[in-house]
Amino acid sequence: MPEEKEITIYDIARLLNISPTTVSRGLKDHPTINIKTRKKIAEVARQLGYRSNTFASSLRSKRTQTLGVIVPRLNSSFMSSVLAGMENAASKEGYNLIIAQSLEQADKEMENVMTMFNKRVDGLLVSLAHSSENVRHFDVFFNKKIPVIFFDRVASHPDSTSIIIDNFTAAYQVTRHLIMQGHKRIMHLGGNMLLNVYSERLRGYKQALQDHKLHFDEKLVMSGNLTEECGTDIAIQLLKLKPKDRPEAVFCANDTAAVYCMIALRNAGVNIPEDIAFAGFNNDPISRVIEPNLTTVNYPGYNMGQAAVAGLASHLNGDTNITNMNTIVLRSELIIRASSGKRK
């Protein structure tokens, strides 16, 4: 590639026959510089392809106006909403986002953390990988007091803030709704129970059963990676049972597993909700396309992304001290649709 000489304020100054100081002030819209001169400077800067010297100014201010985002996977409906919300807030606050995915692997997450650290991000936004058993790899950030915000899949740490929904209450509401519809033998399909989101949903399910004097049967709790294949596998297992031995309702910890379980059951002639009722979690687009539409929990991914970046920006600007906040809980909402219909 051809090397091009970088345009400096000296080039602009020479061309306009003014001092470099005037150019520098003009580019920063300094009020001591005549507005006509400021316009002329901006015009010449644009023509020459001048780039403000972010590196040098970063070295001075120790700030890069960049936030790091580490997520398990970029290609999920939930995560794409989160990212859209984050970008929206970052753009308003004058920050750029650097993104990386851990692919659910702890060692990839550790690598990502070091990359973000060496990139000198001003703050970090993280949803933890499945296989991350602790958060010691974030110590480089904690030690330097660079703020870290965990969202969705979080870990408790004295120096970080977590943004979550109340997974316990949301799952409690789903289970109570299924009970109110007349279902008694309710199965729960959960995810990796080492992650807060799934262990809390299981806890909400159990509590609802207990509060409604229903027996908790361990055999009715299964867990998996909640993919399309996982949903289909569960359907195959249910179909192996005699109809009278099958659960009356299934509460899945995400919509993907619920929807593909429903499709496989429906293809085998099982009626939903008459034979088995269903509820999911997330309110993904597929939950409104599956027939019957899936009862689910609206998980406000876009709002979560916005709140995380706005909180971080406000902390970095010195407006609020986010390290005083242990946890921020966003509202979620039970959405009742046809899949959880009344038992006859």
End-to-end CA distance of the chain: give it in Å, rounded.
73
Q: Which is nearer to a second copy, 100 or 202 (CB)?
A: 100
Burial class of residue 40 (count of CB atoms within 10 Å of its CB; 0-12, 13-18, 19+): middle
Residue 89 vs 208, nearer CB to a second copy: 89
Does 101 engage in binding with a second copy (CB under 8 A)?
Answer: yes
Give me the least distance between CB of 147 and a second copy, in Å please.
8
Instruction: Please give the order of strands across the beta sheet that includes 221-223.
Output: 221-223, 186-190, 249-252, 277-279
**Measured from the CB atom, is 83 or 179 closer to a second copy?**
83
Six-digit token pair at 166? Answer: 């109340």
Beta bridge partners of 187: 250
Q: Which is nearer to a second copy, 52 or 326 (CB)?
A: 52
Q: Of the listed pieces 29-37, 56-64, 192-200, 238-246, which binds a second copy according to CB under 8 A? A: 56-64
Site size for a second copy (CB under 8 A): 55
Q: Does 80 bind a second copy (CB under 8 A)?
A: yes
- Is there binding between residue 180 and a second copy (CB under 8 A)? no
Closest CA to 300 of 337, 334, 331: 331
Instruction: Evaluate whether 89 touches 309 at the Cβ level (below 8 Å).
Output: yes
| Out of 285, 319, 324, 344, the residue judged to bind a second copy by CB under 8 A | 285
Applying CB under 8 A, among 2, 31, 158, 269 the residue interacting with a second copy is 2
Interface mask toward a second copy for 21-50; x: CB under 8 A: -------------------------x--x-
Coil vs helix vs strand at 57: helix
Member of 58, 131, 223, 232 binding a second copy (CB under 8 A): 58
Q: What sign for the dihedral angle of Cα 268, 274, 276, 277?
A: positive
Restricting to residues 295-314, which ones interact with a second copy according to CB under 8 A?
302
Q: Give dist(CA 325, CA 307) in Å, integer.
A: 13
Helix (H) / strand (E) containing 75: none
Helix (H) / strand (E) element for 175: namely helix 167-180
Question: What residues make contact with a second copy under the rule CB under 8 A?
Answer: 1-4, 6, 46, 49, 51-52, 54-56, 58-59, 62, 66, 73-77, 79-81, 83-84, 87-88, 91, 96-101, 115, 117-120, 140, 143-145, 259, 263, 285-286, 289-291, 302, 315-316, 318
